[in-house]
Amino acid sequence: MLGRAERFAAAATPARLAAALAAVVAALFVNAMANAPVEQALRAMECGLFDCLRPMRPEARHGGYSSAEFREFLLAIGALRGRALAALLTDLPVIAALVAALLTAVGLAARGLPISERPRRILVALPIGFAVADLAEDALLALVYSGLADTAAVLPWVSALKFGLLVASALLSLLLGLMRFALN
């Protein structure tokens, strides 16, 4: 799988990056619409336009959450657990689009730079690691939403890993792109 990801990154073009970023925006919009009933149930009052864009669901918070906060979230959504479970399916296109964007960005940023094979493989492995962590988080969420298991103790850690890998990949691509720009 890493070989395919490396080939995908090597074939990066600015047009592919633009398409991947457009796919990210579209997938996030679909995901937000699917999660709207859960988000609405979590809001105590009406919100302004931009406040409504900030997710209230714990797994969507970039700042993290505790297992106690996740359990409070489960109590707050109550009967909407089935709806939250169904909305998890809309996370799959988000993951695919983000991985495509991250791989394309690293492919563009690293092109022409003197990077040895091992660091180049790590650069490609970060988006794949993000996808694995996000899929693991979705599987754990599915177990909780369906009532099959209580995974609240491990969910915050998996979520932190997911966001950490996402940020690391994006920042490394940005730094490499800046290095490439400075060298040219």
Q: Which of 48, 52, 50, 20 is nearest to 35 (CA)?
A: 52
Q: Give the pLDDT of residue 51.
A: 63
pLDDT digits (tens, 9 = 90+) for 69-92: 888 888 888 888 988 899 999 999
Q: Which of 94, 91, 110, 113 is nearest to 169 (CA)?
A: 110
pLDDT digits (tens, 9 = 90+) for 117-162: 999 999 999 999 999 999 999 999 999 999 899 998 999 999 999 9
pTM (2 d.p.)? 0.90
Gap between the Cα atoms of 109 and 103, Å rounded: 10
Q: Give the pLDDT of residue 50.
A: 65
pLDDT: which is higher, 44 or 8: 8
pLDDT at position 171 over 90:
yes
Gap between the Cα atoms of 120 and 138, Å rounded: 28
